[in-house]
């Protein structure tokens, strides 16, 4: 192993992969991504939402965490390439063994999935190694949690509420046999996930904004804008999208008069307002002088 990959006995960070016994290296670099891919492959035939959550945000965190066990981006990228290929390959293998229809979209041919996860895994590994190197060079703790304010807590709570609201009933259909909302008919209470095809994904993506802000603040990164501004924009944008798809532009489904708003819709609105308020409060407690645009 290169000298840069040797473990430092007094490092403030988790141990490097190269410092672990060889059997554990095999487990962490090979068995873990394969096993997680197997779980995702089983979930692919069970739930679209469950598969999406595991195969996208959870897998991304895992890929970066794996790269964080290296200080050489090239070696982390190789590990990510192999781990990503195993992850995607076992998704396809286990899904094929279950014999169930895929609840989420798969590329055609399906083997493309393994190629994509390998490339993405390589990039995530290199990113994690870069963060590791930066953390070793910085003074102080890797994450300065004391820099966080109650605004970040409100933002995180609002994000979780918004994400959870997508599983709640957003609309209700009447007893009219001619009513149709998505693939639902009369007397139905579809959730946000079941109603929308793109808005639900956009709202789920919006839920990441407060966590990204908290990461930036805790890592003490310099910004060219006031922390909280992006969270405010995300919150108000998500709010407008929800209002458009139910009030401003009318309710989805036909006839629209036979579709009513359910409580999940209003929970989503409250959560978006929480995101906006959290961003506003973050700006109120930010005391550093604002830098001109473009200045690092």
pLDDT mean over 110-124: 95
| Tokens describing residue 279 | 């961003």
Least confident of 46-50, 89-93, 120-124: 46-50
Residue 12: per-residue pLDDT: 64
Task: Show Cβ contacts of residue 137 under 8 Å, excluding neighbours closer than 6 positions.
Answer: none
pLDDT mean over 131-154: 80
Strand ranges for the chain from DSSP E:
171-173, 259-261
More confident residue, 291 or 280: 280
More confident residue, 87 or 295: 87
The answer to whether residue 218 scores a pLDDT higher than 80 is yes
pLDDT mean over 174-178: 90
Residue 169 pairs with which residues in a beta bridge? 191
**Cβ–Cβ < 8 Å for 83, 30:** yes
Name the nearest CA neighbour of 78 among 88, 90, 66, 89: 66
pLDDT mean over 183-194: 91
Name the nearest CA neighbour of 227 among 183, 285, 270: 285
Residue 295: per-residue pLDDT: 45
pLDDT mean over 192-220: 88
Residue 222: per-residue pLDDT: 73
**Cβ–Cβ < 8 Å for 286, 166:** no
**Cβ–Cβ < 8 Å for 161, 32:** no
In tens, the pLDDT along 69-90 reads: 999 999 999 999 999 999 999 9
Per-domain residue ranges for the chain? Answer: 3-137, 145-285
Give the position of tokens 């990441």: 208
* 154 CA to centre of own chain: 18
Name the nearest CA neighbour of 254 among 204, 186, 203: 186
Query: pLDDT confidence of 257, banded at 50, 70, 90?
Result: confident
Strand ranges for 3-154 from DSSP E:
none
């Amino acid at each position: 192993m290169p000298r840069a990959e040797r473990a430092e006995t007094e490092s403030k960070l988790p141990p490097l992969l190269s410092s672990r016994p060889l059997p554990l290296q095999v487990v962490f670099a090979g068995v873990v991504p394969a096993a997680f891919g197997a779980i995702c492959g089983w979930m692919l035939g069970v739930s679209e939402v469950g598969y999406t959550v595991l195969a996208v945000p959870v897998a991304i965190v895992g890929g970066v965490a794996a790269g964080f066990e290296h200080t050489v981006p090239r070696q982390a990228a190789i590990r990510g390439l192999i781990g990503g290929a195993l992850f995607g390959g076992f998704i396809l293998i286990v899904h094929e063994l279950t014999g169930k229809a895929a609840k989420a979209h798969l590329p055609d041919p399906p083997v493309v999935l393994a190629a994509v996860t390998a490339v993405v895994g390589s990039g995530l590994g290199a990113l994690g190694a870069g963060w590791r190197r930066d953390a070793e060079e910085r003074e102080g703790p890797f994450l300065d949690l004391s820099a966080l304010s109650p605004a970040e807590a409100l933002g995180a709570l609002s994000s979780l509420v918004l994400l959870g609201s997508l599983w709640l009933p957003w609309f209700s259909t009447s007893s009219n046999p001619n009513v149709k909302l998505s693939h639902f008919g009369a007397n139905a209470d579809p959730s946000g996930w079941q109603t929308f095809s793109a808005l639900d994904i956009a709202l789920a993506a919006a839920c990441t904004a407060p966590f990204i802000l908290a990461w930036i603040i805790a890592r003490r990164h310099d910004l060219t804008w006031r922390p909280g501004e992006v969270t405010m924009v995300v919150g108000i944008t998500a709010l407008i999208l929800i209002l458009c798809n139910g009030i401003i532009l009318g309710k989805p489904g036909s006839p629209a008069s036979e579709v009513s708003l359910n409580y999940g819709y209003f929970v989503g609105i409250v959560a978006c307002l929480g995101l906006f308020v959290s961003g506003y409060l973050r700006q109120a407690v930010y005391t550093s002088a604002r830098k001109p645009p473009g200045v690092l």
